[in-house]
Amino acid sequence: MFHKININYNDIIQNEQILIEFLSKFSDNFSITVLIQKPYSQNPPIYKYCNQITPYATQFIFEKKDWPVDFLGQLRHQIMIICRCCKESRKELLKMPNLFITSDDDVPEDICFYRNDKLWFATVTHEKLSFMQNPTKQDLAFLKEHKIAFNNI
């Protein structure tokens, strides 16, 4: 059975550190969108925070049609990066500015988390949208414990 919940975005912003910690501990991978810098053809690409993220990258996806999530928009020179979740990548994510806040500073956006190669937590940063697919009892207990409001879709 497919179950989807909306998550209050302001609560996500307020609880960014503990949420990133939780999501990355219980995920196999995460994705972010970034704006790449010149030269655009360089592989691996250059982008803000590339020194922190690239060591954990498993895939750079340049074409939107190949992104594992189809609801995100794409800006010119924006790519998606798939990274493995591990203790080290979690530390790097926690060092970055709040990943749930839209920035003019080229901070990675639209962070999503995957379990068993399936999307389970998604954000659309500029729209202030977030949802979770097929949350476990542990996921729901975490949200309740940290007073992160959610509702069924």
Instruction: Look at residue 2 and tell me whether its pLDDT is greater than 90.
Output: no
Q: Which residues contact 141 (CB under 8 A, 6 or more apart)?
A: none
| Per-residue model confidence (pLDDT) at position 120 | 95
What mean pLDDT, rounded, does the chain reach?
92
- End-to-end CA separation in angstroms for the chain: 14
| Alpha-carbon gap, residue 15 to 100, rounded angstroms | 10
Tell me the residue type at 129: L
Structure tokens of 87? 């203790």
Contacts 24+ apart (CB under 8 A), 119-124: 119/68, 119/69, 120/27, 121/23, 121/27, 122/69, 122/71, 123/9, 123/12, 124/71, 124/72
Helix or strand or coil: residue 112? strand
The answer to whether 142 and 24 have CB atoms below 8 angstroms apart is no
Instruction: Look at residue 1 and tell me whether its pLDDT is greater than 70.
Output: no
Compute the average pLDDT of residues 95-107. 88
pTM: 0.93
Compute the average pLDDT of residues 51-70. 91
Percent of the chain exceeding pLDDT 90 equals: 74
